[in-house]
Structure 1
Amino acid sequence: MTAVTATDVKAGEYTIRLNRAGEGNAEAVLFLHGSGPGATGMSNFSGNIDAFADDYDCLVIDQVGWGDSSHPEELAPGGRIRQIVTANFAMLDELGIDKVHLVGNSLGGAVALSMVARAPERIGKVIGMGSAGAGGPAATPTRELMKLITFYDDPSTESMKELISYMMVNPGLFGDRLDAIAEERLKVALRPEVRRSHLLTFAPTGVAGLGLPETALRRITNDVLFIHGREDPVVPLEGSEWLVRRIPNARLFVIPNCAHWAQIEAADTFNSAAKGFLAGQL
């Protein structure tokens, strides 16, 4: 197992919890988790670090508003995405890292696109996985996504297990660990500051700026890979199809028999595709 160190890093007016492995490698990869209640960087990506850390400086963070990072009581103008993007760049400045590749799951995919649109010279390649941020009909929330958004209407272990079941075609892959995983995520989700941040994020002003204008997408010249589970009910495949048609150097890799958590449910395939893309082989 790769050694991972956890530290709190100053990020402008906020603090970001950073889990780091492979420090000293020439190229850095910033991993951006999704928006689920109880989500953290490590809950999304702990199973992928071993595959990346031999070659990359892996920066797995809790984004502002999640986990052990800052939970501002109010959102800055521009909503949660702009707040996160600003904090992420401030953290990179604090670490002295000029340029990173990005791997973003769901909401993290939308954050990644906003980061590359803001400062393309500081971003290498971008990987979006079940990425949010599409427009048109693909922007309409599914029932499964609405269950995530309204989780705090019934914040119970059973509701968490139901939500996790939407993320995978076969939740049985967790075996007898599903109850423990649901209870651990619920424990984080029930922290008062985490609950407050979730409700702020999904208020109308919080999700402002989730998707970039098509004009901004068409100006992205970095190489982008969208990885999507074919059976994803939370952010359907049509979202990545919409995005890949608008970003000039984007491509799409579809994983069959896979839902929203491709990095968990199809970890070997995800790791191989992502690393191949970063290495210029895909």
Structure 2
Amino acid sequence: MQMAEMKIADLGGIKLHYDDVGEGPALILIHGSGPGASGRANFIRNIEALSKDFRVIVPDLPGFGQSDMKPAGTPIPGWWADKIVELLDHLDIAKAHFVGNSLGGAITLKIAMESPSRVDRMILMGPGGGTPVTSVFPTEGIKTLVSFYDGPGPSLERLKAFINQFVYDPSQITEELLAERLKAAMDPRVIAQPPMRLGPGVAFEELWRDPRMAKLPHETLIIWGREDRVMPLDTGFVLMKQIPRARLLVMPQCGHWAQWEHADEFNKTVLGFLKND
């Protein structure tokens, strides 16, 4: 799919770049946080299929892609959630469907709890903000993500080792994909201020502890790769039990990138869920 030049929204002095494709009800796709992540990189296999029925809006979160940097020490995921709501205001969108991948899932949950009227249906894909039942956490994938810019710093070897943890079948990872992600990860702005680096006194918000989660009114689909080595599957059990109208779909032979490894099934599932009255 040939993508047009990204649009830009000025949100309180932060320039946020985003794609806006298709017509119909608004659908916001929020990407994850791995090195070199961006909206297009995460959802390149989904945008075209979903935009046939929806107005698909795919932002680069501040700190990723072409957008401005995220200020150091701001809450995670709360600060990003506020910016996405500001983007909705900028686009004059009162309510939208959401697909959130990993960090994007945590951002979606935060928006749903803080501004429930802005969310229609939501799909959470291996989302952050939860806690596993029995699995060791943080996983090696999370540790690698948080420490990617520490020590010897970013490199192709470290990126390849990290990306391989994201998928069930590493043979699908192409040299082109690695090169694109490394180029984005080597952005001097990001090296100077990694978006996932937690400042003093700042921790990733444990959304699962928030009592508002048990009162969320939204129809929710949680999608998890059975072989996810970044966010373990049993994290989904807690979220499924807490969110009143949630259902859980587990994809076999699938890692953390369900939307990429099983794109056709993912696209059909999301469209079916969003269009089901």
Q: Same-fold call, TM > 0.5?
A: yes
The change in CA–CA distance for 1:40 and 1:3 in structure 2 (over 3 A counts) is closer
Tell me the CA shift for residue 3 of structure 1: 4.8
Where does 1:1-282 land on structure 2 (aligned, <5 Å)? 1=1, 3-22=3-22, 25-76=23-74, 79-135=75-131, 137=133, 140-152=137-149, 153=151, 154-174=153-173, 178-198=174-194, 201-203=197-199, 205-280=201-276
Greater share of helix residues, 1 or 2? Answer: 1
Secondary structure at 1:42's aligned position in 2? helix
Moved over 6 A (4+): none
Name the CA distance, whole Å, in 2 between partners of 1:212 and 1:197.
Answer: 28
2:76 alignment partner, SS class: helix
Aligned to 2:242, the other structure's residue is in SS state: coil
Distance 1:111 1:72, change over 3 A: closer
SS at match of 1:102: strand
CA apart distance, 1:91: 1.1
Q: Alignment length, in residue pairs?
A: 274
User: What SS is found at the alignment partner of 1:161?
Assistant: helix
TM-score after normalising by structure 2: 0.92
Unaligned runs of at least 5 residues, structure 2: none
Q: Does the 8 Å contact 1:71/1:194 carry over to 2?
A: yes
Could you report, residue by residue, the CA deviation over 1:221-276 in whole angstroms, capped at 9, with x for unpaired residues?
A: 10111000000010011111110010000000000000000000010111111111
**Partners of 2:132 and 2:224 in 1: CA distance:** 18
What displacement does 1:204 show?
5.7
Q: Which moved more, 1:200-209 or 1:221-230?
A: 200-209
C-alpha separation in 1, matches of 2:34 and 2:276: 31
Could you say what secondary structure the match of 2:218 adopts? coil
Structure 2 CA distance for aligned equivalents of residues 70 and 227 of structure 1 = 30
Q: C-alpha root-mean-square deviation of aligned residues, in Å? A: 1.9
Does the 8 Å contact 2:132/2:234 carry over to 1? Answer: no
CA shift digits 1:32-88 (9 cap, x unpaired): 000101100000001101111111000011112212112044334xx1312111111
Q: Matched residues in 1 for 2:193 and 2:202: separation?
A: 10
Cα distance in 2 for partners of 1:263, 1:205 equals 34
Whole-angstrom CA distance in 2 between matches of 1:210 and 1:84? 15
Unaligned runs of 5+ in 1: none
Q: TM-score, normalised by structure 1?
A: 0.91
The residue type paired with residue 107 of structure 2 is V
In percent, how many aligned pairs have the same letter?
34
Bigger shift: residues 272-281 or 53-62: 272-281
Q: Is the 8 A contact 2:100 2:107 kept in 1?
A: yes
Mapped partners of 2:177, 2:42: distance in 1: 12
